[in-house]
Amino acid sequence: MIVSRLAEFSEPLAERGFVAKMQHSCRYRGNIADQASTVIGSCKSATMQVVRGFEFHRFRRSLWMCRHNPLLQKAVPANLAVDMATHLIKSLTVGFLRRWKAGLTRAFGVAGAIWLVTEIVTRVSSSANDWLTANGDVYLGGVLLAGAMWFVAYSYEQRKVKFRVPTTNSYITIKFGNLFEERSDWLIGVNEFFDGRLGQVIAKTSVHGQFITNVFHGDETRFREAVTAALAGVPCTSTARMNLPADSYEIGTTAVVANGSQKAFLVAMSRTDLVTHKAGSTVPMLFEAMKGALESVKNYGNGEPLALPLIGNGLSSVNLEPQHLLRLITLALVDFGRKVSLPKQVTIVAPEGCFEQLDIREIKRDWMKR
């Protein structure tokens, strides 16, 4: 399917006389003129070859080093090579499908630029003209390779981007991975009751549930004690909830919980149904929660790096596409950073499952323009 799309993209160029113009410009190039008509077809095959082999060469070399270096064998986990290969293939596939038209346009642009420079140089240098006539195959292959490499470099889907918050000294990084591997303070969304019971109330797979599991080993009592101490003196509203925490806190209320040398900022960002225990949130509630959490980060974070997940994408869903949700979270961070302040480094860690749905390069491009 991809090859057929490339063919469809290439045919209009041939119809507009692209090949004929290249042949005309090569009238003094001997055997190059005979090969000019094959450039479009060669570009397709060369591009596919590079997509399959260009980045894999570096991967194979890294894998060879891991196999033959005892120190690396001890330091690198056994499944790291598999993860690297999986991420590489996914980045190439997603990026190619997402940007193949723009990438192919830029590849032809590179080839055209090389051709223009060649025309100028060979007009003023007879030795350059003689070399080109004698080495036409090498030259044509180099042009195709340069275009294909540019295509791959442009199309490759990045797994991490970083940009500066306009008018500030703070930077926002967006990456795919696991929030709990970040060596920084964490900002995590919870419901208005700050529940800690895993199961029907808090899913073990949610970020909230993973936090309780990783930090408190799934112990609801220890979690409850830490949250109660952190929320001492904070206004709340009593409800008729049975057998569970009944004190409801306003959206944006943040509990600062110790996490070793770091802190965890647990912010109320959703409302819970008292019967079904289903939590839900909205865009205004998300902005209110982000404002309250970032205010606590400013007051108690001491400027330490901060990491947060794609808040609102889990079970307490804001009911937005991941790309739109990421835009909103980034906007909330930038707005607060401009008006008040942010830590020097803020990292948004998106789940691996959203890789095909998120275009983090677009987010960076939008804010780099400002």
- Domain boundaries along the sequence of the chain: 2-155, 160-368
Average pLDDT of span 74-102: 81
Measured in whole angstroms, the distance separating CA 112 from the mean position of its chain's CA atoms is 31
**298/53: higher pLDDT:** 298
- Cβ contact 193:199 at 8 Å: no
Q: 132-186, pLDDT tens digit by residue?
A: 999 999 999 999 999 999 999 999 999 999 999 998 999 999 999 999 999 999 9
What is the per-residue pLDDT for 86?
Answer: 87
**195/30: higher pLDDT:** 195
What is the per-residue pLDDT for 112?
Answer: 95
CA proximity to 149, closest of 244, 51, 247: 51
Question: In the structure, what pLDDT confidence band is assigned to residue 307 with cuts at 50, 70 and 90?
Answer: very high
**How far is 292 from 280, CA to CA, in rounded Å?**
18
What is the per-residue pLDDT for 370?
Answer: 61
Question: In the structure, what pLDDT confidence band is assigned to residue 201 with cuts at 50, 70 and 90?
Answer: confident
What is the per-residue pLDDT for 242?
Answer: 83
What dihedral do alpha carbons 236, 238, 244, 248 form, nearest 10°?
-30
What is the per-residue pLDDT for 66?
Answer: 46
Q: Which of 4-13, 61-70, 193-202 has the lowest mean pLDDT?
A: 4-13
Beta bridge partners of residue 25, listed in sequence order:
none
Give yes or no for residue 80 having a pLDDT over 50.
yes
Question: In the structure, what pLDDT confidence band is assigned to residue 309 with cuts at 50, 70 and 90?
Answer: very high
Place of tokens 């008292």: 274
**How far is 205 from 165, CA to CA, in rounded Å?**
32
- Cβ contact 260:185 at 8 Å: no
Place of tokens 């930038």: 334
For 160-368, which CATH superfamily applies?
Leucine Aminopeptidase, subunit E, domain 1 (3.40.220.10)
Q: Give me the chain's average pLDDT, please.
A: 82
- 3 state SS of 16: coil
**How far is 73 from 53, CA to CA, in rounded Å?**
25
**How far is 254 from 8, CA to CA, in rounded Å?**
55
- Cβ contact 92:156 at 8 Å: yes
**How far is 272 from 343, CA to CA, in rounded Å?**
31
- 3 state SS of 311: coil
What is the per-residue pLDDT for 3?
Answer: 40
Question: In the structure, what pLDDT confidence band is assigned to residue 103 with cuts at 50, 70 and 90?
Answer: very high
What is the per-residue pLDDT for 69?
Answer: 53
